[in-house]
A and B are shown apart, each in its own frame.
Chain A
């Protein structure tokens, strides 16, 4: 008979234990044993994390987008108008803005371009092109006439399709010239300006110097006949300036907005009023906080549902695995080992959900940005924090099931039949 090999002869009380490597092994075996179930369990948390990441990412992206648009157009735009005033004679229009507004403003530091813009009252006179030889077609139109100072074209970032803009010389001399908006040119049937075609505004002939292609601001110019201030004063009885448009450097809007009334009406700055764009920072934070507040609540809710999902399925699996728990206790597991295993399982599940959710969230930010032609912007901590959040949720969700599992008495657990 051979010497028995399985007789233990130590007198000291041995310890049971569980190495980190074995814990990870047991947990990954348990989670990969039923992959579909693992995925479904994690689904709520995946969606919740994805919603949070997408929300924060999209808010950031959209906020950035808005700031960019404001930077380019709105944030650099100031409009100065006459302040409404009580006058005794209601017919008298009190225009505090002088005709040399442009000269006064371009001197200010931070002003890129400035120009006046005033509607010309024609008292029913129509505009027509020459020659007037189309008996069938209509050739006289009611087209708005707008008087501007030469700097306005730059201030509204206008481009010509053909020809050029009038300059200070034309304006000072009161030359009978005009620029046509593309809409007006169309109706007047003016396409080429090689030989300075003439049009008539009422009975006044004016030569067309150029045709607009597009403007970045004040789109009503596109349908108008644009004449110099000087001409409008001489021939159409323009008595005052209606508004001044200023294109300022980025960040100068607020300062210029304060200085413009002083420059235009030094004695009574209160008679003119400047409209300044809202500060970009304020815009960004409103947008972000509004979008965030709503969707963060939704994301938080789905996370809560996700956590309940993990807790629920983990609890079910504790009950299903009662026999296994009893076996492990019989093999030497302490209550702590059992609790630790289930806690680690749910935390790992949460971590997995966090990683997957973060990927989905980032993907949706990129996808939405792509359809809107936005630049996706994401805080770099976000994709890293999401898995941590997921793991924390899993951990919290696992507390009750783990406690439940660890408090099952082995003799009760082992009574449950198992294969």
Chain B
């Protein structure tokens, strides 16, 4: 039996201050391969904090986090960077595309830190863009793309490395309803293909699409029963 993609045991993150901010308290969570997880909760409840911990961009102050069966506490900075490069894909609310590079070059950037073969790189990036429905805009500059298209480029960039886990923080936060739906449809397709996703959202519609919903309030995590919208 293979290890779950994510396993959290009593995970906590507090930010120093007076008093310290308990952004995440004693979180237990298991995400199996192929799960589609929506993370909901009010503003300031600790959703992004959880995502940053899952993405190895931040270190917990207590508890255990195993990614693909590897205890992340044992990893040094280099190894954590390696895990980010090979196991995790990020999609952000503000798309974080480099303005002076074409869409395909933006996707190729993700291969740089994996030391991916330079010859295959463009091919892989084109395929990923194809996958998100942008095969016809390979050489477009980001400034000429719509918001929805930009976010699809960002998704392609996250997919090209075949991550174990795709993390998205408010991916539709900057998009109108129509384009949001396109991104959600894309996520649903990726889920159907077997990708493991964890998506933070305010949007109840997004939450409805996901098969599992996790709610955070004041840093405390609880799983909502299937089919119930909070």
From residue 21 to 78 of chain B, which have CB atoms closer than 8 A to chain A? 33-34, 48, 52, 55, 57-58, 68-70, 75, 77-78
Task: Indicate if the CB atoms of A2 and B87 lie closer than 8 Å.
Answer: no
Which residue of chain B has its CB nearest to the CB of A8? B164
Task: Indicate if the CB atoms of B143 and A419 lie closer than 8 Å.
Answer: yes
Q: In the complex, A419→B93 CA distance in Å?
A: 10
Query: Is A36 interfacial (CB 8 A cutoff)?
Result: no
From residue 181 to 227 of chain B, which have CB atoms closer than 8 A to chain A? 192-196
Query: Is B98 interfacial (CB 8 A cutoff)?
Result: yes
Q: Which of A16, A21, A26 contacts B78 (CB 8 A)?
A: A16
Q: In the complex, A2→B195 CA distance in Å?
A: 12
Count CB-based A-B contacts (< 8 Å).
Answer: 133
Query: Is A381 interfacial (CB 8 A cutoff)?
Result: no
Q: In the complex, A22→B117 CA distance in Å?
A: 10
Q: Which of A4, A7, A15, A326 contacts B82 (CB 8 A)?
A: A15
Query: Is B180 interfacial (CB 8 A cutoff)?
Result: no
Task: Indicate if the CB atoms of B75 and A333 lie closer than 8 Å.
Answer: no
Q: In the complex, A7→B2 CA distance in Å?
A: 12
Task: Indicate if the CB atoms of A7 and B78 lie closer than 8 Å.
Answer: no
Q: In the complex, A337→B113 CA distance in Å?
A: 9
Which residue of chain B has its CB nearest to the CB of A332? B85
User: Shortest distance in angstroms between B68's beta carbon and chain A's nearest beta carbon?
Assistant: 7
Q: In the complex, A411→B75 CA distance in Å?
A: 18
Task: Note all chain A residues with C-beta closer than 8 A to B90.
Answer: 330-331
Task: Note all chain A residues with C-beta closer than 8 A to B110.
Answer: 331
- Given A331-B85, A331-B112, A411-B57, residue A417 in contact with residue B94 (CB < 8 A): yes
Task: Indicate if the CB atoms of A327 and B193 lie closer than 8 Å.
Answer: no
User: Shortest distance in angstroms between A34's beta carbon and chain B's nearest beta carbon?
Assistant: 8
Query: Is B140 interfacial (CB 8 A cutoff)?
Result: no
Interface size class of A (residues with CB under 8 A): 35 or more
Query: Is B9 interfacial (CB 8 A cutoff)?
Result: no
Task: Indicate if the CB atoms of B83 and A334 lie closer than 8 Å.
Answer: no
What is the size, in residues, of chain B's interface with A at 8 Å between Cβ atoms?
53
Task: Indicate if the CB atoms of B55 and A330 lie closer than 8 Å.
Answer: yes
Query: Is A136 interfacial (CB 8 A cutoff)?
Result: no
Task: Note all chain B residues with C-beta closer than 8 A to A334.
Answer: 77-78, 81
Q: In the complex, A353→B193 CA distance in Å?
A: 52
Query: Is A323 interfacial (CB 8 A cutoff)?
Result: yes
Task: Indicate if the CB atoms of B195 and A6 lie closer than 8 Å.
Answer: yes
Q: In the complex, A414→B56 CA distance in Å?
A: 13
- Given A4-B193, A11-B69, A330-B90, residue A16 in contact with residue B96 (CB < 8 A): no
From residue 396 to 419 of chain A, which have CB atoms closer than 8 A to chain B? 409-411, 414, 417-419
Q: In the complex, A414→B154 CA distance in Å?
A: 14
Query: Is B152 interfacial (CB 8 A cutoff)?
Result: no
Query: Is A157 interfacial (CB 8 A cutoff)?
Result: no
Q: Which of B82, B94, B114, B164 contacts A13 (CB 8 A)?
A: B82
Task: Indicate if the CB atoms of B78 and A15 lie closer than 8 Å.
Answer: yes
Which residue of chain B has its CB nearest to the CB of A419? B99
Task: Indicate if the CB atoms of A333 and B81 lie closer than 8 Å.
Answer: yes
Query: Is A169 interfacial (CB 8 A cutoff)?
Result: no
Query: Is A5 interfacial (CB 8 A cutoff)?
Result: yes
Binding site for A on B (CB under 8 A): 2, 33-34, 48, 52, 55, 57-58, 68-70, 75, 77-79, 81-87, 90, 92, 94-101, 109-110, 112-115, 118, 142-143, 150, 157, 159, 161-164, 192-196
**Additional 6 contacts, C-beta under 8 A, given A8-B87, A8-B163:** A6-B193, A6-B195, A15-B79, A327-B92, A409-B58, A410-B58
Binding site for B on A (CB under 8 A): 1-11, 13-19, 21-22, 26, 29, 33, 323-324, 326-335, 337, 409-411, 414, 417-419
